[in-house]
């Protein structure tokens, strides 16, 4: 499968590639990963202090406090997928995972029977998940907790986060916007970080549910 990879806020594609090397290796070489960098310069994320410095360039996809920035990010993602897609899946962390959720949700609600933008998703510690339906219409910012008209995202999705993540209390409500039979979650013993060999069991647990999402997506393609 070909995955679109979206990094977190205050980091970069280069760092995201480094952080996910072991995880991607365990997923197998039948997959390819294309890393797309944000365009908004941003201060370095605190959790990167061990592998990066403030002198390096760090980015975001949008300013989470500024609604027009969300709209710009949506438009840029639309344009990128039109030019470089299709992608079978999305592989995303933190703000990148938040952007992926908002994008999938918006596409599903706008046209429920249309082909989804991704056949599967592997999402890590999503943050800045705004309600696109509210800010598209009014510019008002609020957190996404449910989809209009009872719609649910049925894209096979694996959601992974750390039990000590500062955003952990916000994630369960996001899980509720996905169809249960096409959704898997894994919580590891960590903070706002990616699974890694230094967090015991986190790679194995993540790969297990990621493969479930990939397998279900593959069966849908064959069918």
Please list, in sequence order, all residues whose beta carbon lies within 8 angstroms of the beta carbon of residue 107, skipping any fewer than 6 positions away: 114, 116, 117
Q: 165 catalytic, yes or no?
A: yes
Structure-block tokens of residue 30:
């039948």
Looking at 12, 52, 94, 125, which residue is catalytic? 94
Structure-block tokens of residue 172:
């369960």
Rounded CA separation 220/214 (Å): 10
Q: 192 catalytic, yes or no?
A: yes
Q: Which helix (H) or strand (E) holds 132?
A: helix 132-137
Question: Which residue carries 């096979």 as its tokens?
Answer: 156
Structure-block tokens of residue 34:
């294309």
Looking at 12, 125, 131, 192, which residue is catalytic? 192
Rounded CA separation 48/143 (Å): 26
177-213 per-residue burial string, b: 16 or more CB within 10 A, e: under 16: bbeeebbbbbbbebbbbbbbeebeebbebbbebbbbb
Classify burial at 101, counting beta carbons within 10 Å of its beta carbon; exposed 0-12, middle 13-18, buried 19 or more: buried
Measured in whole angstroms, how far is the alpha carbon of residue 94 from the centre of its chain?
A: 7
Looking at 7, 12, 125, 165, which residue is catalytic? 165
Catalytic center residues = 94, 165, 192
């Amino acid at each position: 499968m070909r995955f679109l990879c979206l990094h977190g806020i205050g980091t970069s594609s280069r760092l995201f590639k480094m952080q996910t090397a072991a995880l991607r290796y365990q997923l197998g070489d039948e997959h390819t990963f294309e890393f797309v960098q944000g365009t908004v310069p941003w201060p370095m994320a605190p959790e990167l202090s061990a592998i990066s410095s403030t002198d390096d360039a760090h980015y975001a996809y949008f300013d989470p406090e500024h609604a027009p920035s969300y709209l710009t990010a949506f438009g840029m993602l639309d344009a990128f997928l039109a030019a470089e897609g299709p992608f079978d899946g999305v592989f995303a962390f933190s703000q990148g995972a938040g952007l992926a959720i908002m994008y999938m949700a918006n596409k599903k609600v706008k046209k429920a029977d249309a082909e989804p933008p991704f056949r599967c998703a592997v999402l890590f510690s999503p943050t800045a998940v705004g309600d696109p339906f509210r800010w598209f219409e009014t510019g008002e910012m609020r957190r996404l907790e449910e989809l209009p008209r009872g719609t649910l995202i049925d894209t096979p999705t694996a959601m992974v986060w750390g039990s000590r993540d500062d955003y952990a209390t916000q994630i369960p409500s996001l899980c509720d916007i996905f169809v249960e039979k096409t959704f898997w979650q894994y919580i590891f013993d960590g903070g706002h970080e990616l699974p890694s060999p230094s967090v015991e069991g986190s790679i194995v647990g993540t790969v297990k549910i990621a493969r479930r999402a990939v397998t279900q997506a593959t069966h849908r393609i064959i069918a």
